[in-house]
Amino acid sequence: MNVIKRVFDFKGAPLLAAVFVALFIAEGRLQLRKRKEPRWKRIVINSIVAIPAFTLLRFLFLPVMVKLAIGNRHLKWGLNYHYQAHPFIKTAVAFLIMDYTNYLWHILNHKIPFLWRFHVVHHSDPDLDVTTAIRFHFGELIGSVFYRGVFVFLSGATPLNELIYEILFEGATQFHHSNFKLPYQFEKALNKIIVTPRMHGIHHSMIRQETDSNYSVIFSFWDRLHRTVRLNVAQDVIVTGVPSYSDPDELTIGYLLKLPFTKIRRWEQVSEAEDVRATLAGKNNLAK
Ligand SMILES: [Zn+2]
């Protein structure tokens, strides 16, 4: 397991911490969406909710994924063990398989009520910024060990492939959750390949049809491929959060940690919903 220390602890984690700080500063200066809650309050709540999930990520998730990848070296069951190609091609194949199956995993988190119990903690955030990227319930992480482990194995990813993908995955998650206003034309071009803040902002809308879109994590083309992409919603009309969990005073650290074990409320229809946004239908270009 030295590979986790070498790659994740000594390189990945400091790099991710630096990306987090850079995005935190950048979104403070160039803000994309209006905030509802003070930043200091958000960072406290989201960081504390993140502690159990990140402990499990480091001491359960990563060791299991790396063990599977090491075991596969002997068993040679994964796809990448069954053809000859340059290591670069094999790395790209492993990344694409892991990223595509994470897109599907994200959809399952929205569609299967048991998984939604945990994912709702992330979506209930009344604002969306880089701190939302760490606001995940530890239960969601436990579920992902089983699901994602299957695809680390089936792809034939090496331990190094898996760890580098994980670092990219976390970095991309921080980036697309951030409230950083990129120059519009630049973001529009970037969005052709990867998920950007405006695109993911729509996924955190209180309007159901918008939440039910833009599930991709790193590469944005999975949503285009499956027609789950929705780009024509301007950021200033988006209300972030989940309608039935929209009272910020209720969403305390203790409540968020126990939320998956309570009776989950139905998604309420937001009054302005479909008809207003229906006028936006038509061309699905990235809105400002
Ligand atoms: Zn989601």
Structure confidence at residue 191 (pLDDT) = 97
Q: What is the pLDDT of residue 271?
A: 64
**Per-residue pLDDT tens for 120-150?**
999 999 999 999 999 999 999 999 999 999 9
* Ligand 1: centre distance to CA 177 (Å): 11
Alpha carbon of 6 to ligand 1 centroid (Å): 31
Whole-number Å distance, alpha carbon 272 to ligand 1 midpoint, is 22
Interval between CA 230 and ligand 1 midpoint (Å): 14
**121 Cα–ligand 1 center, Å:** 10
Find the 21 Cα to ligand 1 centroid distance in Å: 23
Question: Left if phi > 0, otherwise alpha if psi is -120 to 50, otherwise beta: which for 196?
Answer: beta
User: E strand or H helix at 281, and its extent?
Assistant: none
> How far, in Å, is the centroid of ligand 1 from the Cα of 92?
25
Distance 187 CA to ligand 1 centre (A): 21
State pLDDT tens for residues 53-104.
999 999 999 999 999 999 999 898 899 999 999 999 999 999 999 999 999 9
Give residue 82 CA to ligand 1 midpoint distance, Å: 34
Comparing C-alpha atoms, which of 226, 236, 231 is closest to residue 210? 231
User: How far apart are the CA of 113 and the centre of ligand 1, in A?
Assistant: 13
- C-alpha to C-alpha distance for 42 and 126, rounded to whole angstroms: 9
186 CA → ligand 1 middle, Å:
25
Q: Which residues lie closer than 8 Å to 168 by C-beta, 6 or more apart? A: 95, 218
Q: How far is the CA of 246 from the centre of ligand 1 (A)?
A: 16
The pLDDT of residue 276: 55
* Residue 247: half-sphere exposure toward Cβ, Cα within 13 Å: 4
Radius of gyration (C-alpha) of the chain in whole angstroms: 19
Give me ligand 1 centre to Cα 106, in Å. Answer: 6
Instruction: Give the C-alpha separation, 52 to 118, whole Å.
Output: 13
Tokens representing residue 180 in the block: 């950083």
DSSP 204: T
pLDDT of residue 285: 84
Which pLDDT belongs to residue 148? 95
Q: With the C-alpha atoms ordered 153, 159, 162, 163, is the resulting torsion angle positive or negative?
A: positive
- 87 Cα: distance to centroid of ligand 1 (angstroms): 33
- Residue 277: the pLDDT is 61
Residue 268 CA to ligand 1 centre (angstroms): 17
Amino acid (1-letter code) at residue 248: P
Cα distance between residue 109 and residue 156, in whole Å: 25
Output the CA 123–ligand 1 centroid distance in Å: 6
Classified as helix, coil or strand, 118 is helix
CA–centroid distance, 131 to ligand 1, in Å, is: 15
Q: What is the pLDDT along the chain (288 residues), one digit of tens a residue?
A: 699 999 999 999 999 999 999 999 999 999 999 999 999 999 999 999 999 999 999 999 999 999 999 999 989 889 999 999 999 999 999 999 999 999 999 999 999 999 999 999 999 999 999 999 999 999 999 999 999 999 999 999 999 999 999 999 999 999 999 999 999 999 999 999 999 999 999 999 999 989 999 999 999 999 999 999 999 999 998 999 999 999 989 999 999 999 999 999 998 877 655 555 655 555 788 888
Residue type, 40: W
Closest by CA to 185, choosing from 286, 39, 44, 72, is 286
Residue 83 CA, ligand 1 centroid: distance in Å: 35
Report the separation in Å between the CA atom of 120 and the middle of ligand 1, taken as the mean of its atom positions: 8
Ligand 1 centre to CA of 215 (Å) is: 7
> What's the gap in Å between 73 CA and the centre of ligand 1?
33
CA distance 188 to 191: 5
Tokens of 163: 């760890």
Which alpha helices (DSSP H) does the chain contain, by range?
2-3, 13-29, 39-56, 62-75, 87-111, 113-123, 138-155, 159-177, 184-190, 197-203, 208-211, 221-225, 253-258, 273-278
